[in-house]
Copies of this chain bind each other. A is one copy, B any other.
Amino acid sequence: MGVVELTIAFHTIFNSPIDKVVWDVSHQSYTHKILTGRKEAWLDPKHYDDVSGYTAPEESPHDYFNIGHTSTSIALATGMASARDLQGKSGNVMAVIGDGSLSGGLALEGLNIAATLKSNLIILVNDNGMAIAKDHGGLYEGLKELRETNGQSSHNLFKAMGLDYRYVENGNDIQTMLNAFREIKDIDHPIVLHVHTEKGHGYQPAIDHKEAFHWHVPFDLATGKTLHPTTGETYNDVIHMELEKEITENNTPITAITAAIPGSYDLKRFSQKYPERYFDVGIAEQESISFAAGQAKQGLRPIVFHSGTFLQRAYDQLSHDLGINKLPVTIMVSGGSISAGDPTHQGIFDIAMLSNIPGLTYLAPTTKEELTAMMHWALHQNVGPVAIRVPSNGVHTATLNNFNAHKMNILHQGKQVAILGVGSLLPLAQTVQQQLVSKNIDATIVDPRDISELDSETLTDLEQDHQLVITLEEASLSGGFGEKVSRFYGNTAVHVLNFGAAKRFNDRETTAELWREFKLTPEQIVSEVMTNLK
């Protein structure tokens, strides 16, 4: 909402797509989409699904990239501007980045390189004083001083990075933005235009509840109240209960760390009760992991709360800072599901990312009892980092006996066929098992638990009585758990079938379509089993 006026001003003054604008994260591009031929997607219910929630080159020549992660716009714009110069072309290149995204390392790397360009590049910093949640970090003190001094403070990150700089106070005033753009259009060097806007501008409930309205399920327009609030126990409840228990009963020196997504894990409950143990490092996934490494080295038990797709930013830190150093940091990973959504927010690549890092244990709980036991184990072992894949399905419950994180759990001992159901797909394994009973097959059901290292003892045992092992994982198969099982049995008589997602970026297919396409319905799996037993 804060960018409506500056977007209108941009398309008034500049000549898109000769002049190009790259929207950071790009979920603030709706006004831009409306002004570039896509207004029906907001006006006509028949066209609601025509456009994505992010910029999309396949929709319009005014969009350049599919973008859904933060802090990329400046870097992308530096590349575009340098290409324009090398090709002898003209036109403005502008990156529009929110203040919250500025704390991401890539944005800062981009600022540093932007200053080396010798030609047109406009970096519009849309400063509403908020990331998804509150901004975190020293640079925001500087931005605040700049806002309070009409851009005159000497604590100026952009000038310190070698960039020209202008400040605009009334970013939600169209005339102001028209003038600001007129002045810098066709400027011959990189410049930062620091624009002060209001998050949620024009809609009072969004202004009053900025974090809640960053992303929202359907709500009543007049009051801002959620129309269909969720009820019942969630895995977040389970997680918070375990955190509480570790502090009050076990005196475990835990801390909770997030990189700007406290809402995903409802961390407000924790931060209000234990403010000294709570750390939001802002949009800075790399820092979140290395910061946790530092705490763990000193004897604390940090837990970092992440979503699988954003955690990709910290791949090197997971390996270099945690894996090599064997530091007991616990990482909660959410979003691991095959479901409708944009390609930039797919939660199916976490297993390939995490399960192949030496020294990092990746666990997939199937019930709340297992989730609790895995957190407890992770917080009291001294072997190394442990990531836990929070199940994407509803809360399941089952009595837990003899928990061993590295030992596969046989829920039902059958023969002929063994079904290994990873985390959220254990219920699917159980359904398949039941359907196979009617075909006179008594299949074994296994909960693998540790999806980064195979329990070779259990797998070897299965070899005796089973001719077919099938694996089910709610993730991309490429580089995942099933392939490890295939390798294990590669030189044996046991046949293996891996079920999971194809290696691709799904793009707003429905969840049902995806599951059918990937042969993840019970009927399809049963059919495959029957075909391959013959």
Contacts and interface: CB of A to CB of B under 8 A. Distances in A.
A448 interface: no
A518 interface: no
Given A162-B142, A277-B86, A487 B498 contact: yes
Nearest to A103: B112
Interface string A126-149: 000000000011111110000000
Contact of A320 (B69, B114, B356, B359): B69
A75 B290 contact: yes
A353 B162 contact: no
A294 B78 contact: yes
Contacts of A112: 103, 136-139, 282, 284, 287
A497 B140 CA distance: 55
A463 to B, nearest CB: 14
A504 interface: yes
A138 B114 contact: yes
A163 interface: yes
A136 to B, nearest CB: 7
B487 A491 contact: no
A355 B138 CA distance: 38
Interface in A56-85: 57, 64-69, 72, 75-84
A352 interface: yes
A378 B142 CA distance: 44
Contact of A284 (B109, B142, B492): B109
Interface string A88-117: 010000000000000111111111111110
Interface string A288-331: 00111111111110100000000011011101110111000000
Interface string A265-295: 0000000000011010110101100111111
Nearest to A297: B64
A12 to B, nearest CB: 24
Given A487-B477, A490-B498, A138 B116 contact: yes
Interface in A342-359: 343-344, 349, 352-353, 355-359
Find the residue from A84, A287, A503 having the highest chain B CB count within 10 A: A287
A156 interface: yes
Given A65-B293, A160-B142, A312-B315, A356 B479 contact: yes
B505 A110 contact: no
A276 to B, nearest CB: 6
Nearest to A83: B298
A200 interface: no
A298 to B, nearest CB: 4
Contacts of A320: 67-69, 72, 312, 344
Contacts of A356: 349, 352, 476, 478-479, 503
Contacts of A64: 297
Contacts of A22: 294
A161 B139 contact: yes
A109 B110 contact: no
B505 A358 contact: yes
Given A487-B477, A491-B496, A495-B491, A253 B142 contact: no
Contacts of A103: 109, 112
Given A112-B138, A356-B352, A294 B497 contact: no
Contacts of A105: 104-109, 286
A349 B286 contact: no
A159 interface: yes
A87 interface: yes
A388 to B, nearest CB: 19
A484 interface: yes
Given A78-B294, A109-B104, A532 B491 contact: yes
Contacts of A181: none
Contacts of A359: 504-505
A53 B532 CA distance: 54
Given A103-B109, A282-B113, A359-B505, A77 B496 contact: no
Contacts of A498: 487, 490
Contacts of A138: 111-116, 161-163
Given A294-B83, A298-B83, A321-B65, A141 B115 contact: yes
Nearest to A85: B276
Interface string A396-433: 00000000000000000000000000000000000000
A324 B344 CA distance: 7
A524 interface: no
Given A67-B320, A356-B478, A491-B497, 12 more contacts: A65-B325, A75-B294, A76-B290, A79-B298, A79-B302, A80-B298, A109-B287, A115-B137, A139-B162, A324-B344, A352-B479, A490-B495
11 contacts: A22-B294, A65-B325, A68-B320, A109-B287, A112-B137, A112-B287, A313-B316, A320-B344, A479-B479, A491-B497, A492-B495
